[in-house]
Amino acid sequence: MPSGNVIRGARVGSAPTRPDERHQPAPRQNVTYWCRNHHQVDIRIAADAEPPTVWDCPRCGLPAGQDAQNPPGRVRAEPYKSHLAYVKERRTAEEGEALLNEALAALRRRRGE
């Protein structure tokens, strides 16, 4: 005898019978990009959206553009900068010297020198 809590006529995870009648897909546009390795990348985006100028190629990772004859070049990575390099960009040598002298004077006052 079957149990009373079984849902009859449907299976778990079944799809709706007619999904095309339940909703209308948003209008889309096809955009094609090319990278330096001549890979073609086709994407679909919303029709009212502005397509990006550059898209990453999924095959090689290079940037791809919409002009097949003139694809964008490799993006140059910024070299790592240390904290000191950033400080030197914001301060001159004279300002750094003044701050150092001020910090040393405060340290000497705390020590009682």
CA atoms within 13 A on the CB side of 1: 1
Bridging pattern class, strands 40-46 and 54-56: unpaired
Which residues are registered as beta bridge partners of 56? 63
Is 39 labelled a binding residue? yes
Which residues are registered as beta bridge partners of 30? 44
Is 60 labelled a binding residue? yes
CA atoms within 13 A on the CB side of 31: 19
Binding residues for Zn(2+): 35, 39, 57, 60
Binding residues: 35, 39, 57, 60
